Amino acid sequence: MKLYKLMRKPPFFLSASHWMTKKDQPVKSGPNSRQAVIIPLLLIQYGSISAKLKAMTTLKNYLVSSIKGMRISAKGLQHNPHSGKRIIDEKTLKEMEDYAKQLGISNIGYTKVNPNYVFKDFEILYDKAIMFTMEMNKQLIATSPSLESNKEIFRTYAGLGTAVNKIADFLRENGFNCHPSPAIGGDINTVPTAQDANLGCVGKNGILVTPEFGPCVRLAGIFVDIDNLPISDQKDHRWIADFCKTCNRCVKSCPAGAIYQEPKVLKDGTHVYIDLEKCAPPFSDGCSTCISSCVFTSGQYDRIKSAFKSKTEAY
């Protein structure tokens, strides 16, 4: 039996559901929700033994920090003020955004959560999301496959976990309820949710491609019941999906052949590009070739967009 399929949810003491009360009215997963995949379990089963032994020393602190962050995120729900405050003023919102940037957050977006993006049998307290990106160091990711690349990935996971918990504390201190969802052990599919927040577009590598950093980011979120978040209906970056159909650099570069040439389309309409079982062994060795090989990692978003637009208009 595949371990990552046997255990689809974190232990109860790390689960947000365990800390919800009878008074709460959580948002349940939708009819077309996906099963969650606990990445560390996938790596345990499919990663190489030598890579695991090497990584344990290097990644231990980040893994411990990430697990502690999951615990703080879940248990922290009991500290929601339940003050009834659901309108945030511009000053407080700006203070939150500035504080997030101080914590290493690269960009922030706002959206309403599609229930189909809540993992199957999971639930979240509130239906609005503040989504965060955190940039990874491009030079370190470019060393892939390496321990340095692996360390940078898990540094960002841990950093996001710490950041969303501190931002949640800020919101609660200002009278707002919230439910932080860290990068590891989160409750939703963050990639399409961040796309809905207009932070980027899902690339063929299955990662959010952002205009500032390409796919060289990790994601996390905080769910809130604030009624006046600056949610935008703009879809500025959806052209990337069409570009990816013509590029395929990540498909050709993947050492495991783990990226589908044509994505599988799920019931909820989301596209699945990655064969996780093929991806796991090289990923455990610190592979992030799908990031380093992506043309958007260069930071030339506007140039690529202009060239692609000119090319498509010529036909």
| Position 44, amino acid | I
Report pLDDT digits (tens) over 191-225: 999 999 999 999 999 999 999 999 999 999 999 99
| Position 130, amino acid | I
pLDDT of residue 63 exceeding 90, the answer is no
Number of other residues whose CB lies within 10 A of the CB of residue 197: 27
Assigned token pair, 44: 């345990």
Which pLDDT score, from 0 to 100, does residue 6 have? 67
Q: Which residue has the higher pLDDT, 49 or 118?
A: 118
The phi, psi pair for 47, rounded to 5°, reads -70, 160
Number of other residues whose CB lies within 10 A of the CB of residue 81: 14
List the one residue out of 184, 153, 144, 149 whose CA is nearest residue 289.
Answer: 144
Residues in Cβ contact with 311 at an 8 Å cutoff, skipping those fewer than 6 apart: none
Q: What is the mean pLDDT of the chain?
A: 91
Which pLDDT score, from 0 to 100, does residue 267 have? 67
pTM for this model (two decimals): 0.93
pLDDT of residue 146 exceeding 70, the answer is yes
How far, in Å, CA of 194 to CA of 110, rounded? 8
Share of the chain above pLDDT 90, in %: 69
Which pLDDT score, from 0 to 100, does residue 280 have? 86
How confident is the model over 246-257, as a mean pLDDT?
94
Report pLDDT digits (tens) over 66-113: 999 999 999 999 999 999 999 999 999 999 999 999 999 999 999 999
Residues in Cβ contact with 265 at an 8 Å cutoff, skipping those fewer than 6 apart: 271, 272
DSSP-H helix ranges across the chain:
3-6, 39-46, 49-75, 90-102, 138-141, 147-173, 190-196, 239-247, 249-253, 276-284, 289-292, 301-314
Residue keyed to tokens 């606990």: 38
CB 158 within 8 A of CB 167: no
Sign of CA dihedral 155, 146, 254, 312: positive
How confident is the model over 145-166, as a mean pLDDT?
94
Residues in Cβ contact with 279 at an 8 Å cutoff, skipping those fewer than 6 apart: 254, 256, 258
